[in-house]
């Protein structure tokens, strides 16, 4: 592979991770397409400071949920980053969590149990469909659980 091809691939990976949202397992040459206008959302002013992930499809879209706290079914809590950003974390390396803030389309969240591989996703159905189309049925990826064995 030539240097320019490597650089192009590296730049493409960085652009995907920054603008589109990559899985926490790394850049897999998979992506979800969003327009810049979708990320350009005003801050939400509805007073929702803490939300259960199960209700992500019910809360208003069209604004940036940065700063809101998401609560997963097991009680794990994490902050939502600004629109266009994603975060992945683990409570104890047995379960991984992912949060992607897409701005106007809403917030997507997922969890993956490492011992069973079971993945659960929450968010507006249209957003879940877009993420699944881009990343498949496991947007977190097997790589997140490698350090648990």
Please tell me whether the overall predicted TM-score, pTM, comes out greater than 0.85 for this model.
no
Tell which wins on pLDDT, 32 or 107.
107
Q: Which residue, among 70, 84, 82, 64, has the nearest Cα to 121 in the 3D structure?
A: 70
Tell which wins on pLDDT, 13 or 28.
28
Q: Note whether residue 38 is domain-resident.
A: yes
Arithmetic mean of pLDDT, 53-60 = 92
Arithmetic mean of pLDDT, 85-107 = 80
Q: Is the pLDDT of residue 103 over 80?
A: yes
Q: Is the pLDDT of residue 143 over 70?
A: no
Arithmetic mean of pLDDT, 37-60 = 88
Q: Note whether residue 28 is domain-resident.
A: no
Q: How confident is the model at residue 92 (pLDDT cuts 50, 70, 90)?
A: low
> Residue 82: its pLDDT value, please?
83
Nearest-10 Cα torsion for 104, 106, 112, 117: -80
Whether the CB-CB separation of 106 and 61 falls below 8 Å is answered with yes
Domain total in the chain: 1
Q: Note whether residue 121 is domain-resident.
A: yes
Q: Is the pLDDT of residue 124 over 60?
A: yes
Q: How confident is the model at residue 2 (pLDDT cuts 50, 70, 90)?
A: very low
Q: What is the pairing mode between strands 50-52 and 69-71?
A: parallel
Q: Note whether residue 8 is domain-resident.
A: yes
Q: Is the pLDDT of residue 141 over 90?
A: no
Domain region containing 134? 3-23+33-148
Whether the CB-CB separation of 88 and 98 falls below 8 Å is answered with yes
The number of beta carbons lying within 10 Å of the beta carbon of residue 135 is: 22
């Amino acid at each position: 592979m030539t240097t320019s091809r490597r650089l192009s691939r590296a730049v493409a990976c960085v652009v995907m991770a920054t603008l589109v949202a990559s899985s926490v397992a790394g850049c897999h040459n998979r992506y979800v397409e969003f327009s810049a206008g979708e990320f350009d959302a005003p801050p939400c002013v509805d007073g929702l400071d803490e939300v259960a992930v199960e209700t992500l499809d019910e809360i208003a879209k069209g604004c940036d949920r940065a700063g809101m706290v998401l609560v997963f079914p097991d009680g794990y809590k994490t902050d939502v980053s600004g629109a266009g950003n994603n975060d992945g974390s683990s409570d104890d390396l047995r379960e991984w969590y992912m949060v992607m803030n897409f701005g106007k389309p809403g917030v997507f969240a997922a969890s993956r149990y490492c011992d069973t591989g079971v993945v659960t996703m929450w968010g507006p159905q249209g957003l879940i469909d877009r993420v699944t189309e881009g990343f498949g049925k496991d947007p977190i990826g097997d790589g997140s659980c490698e350090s648990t064995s």
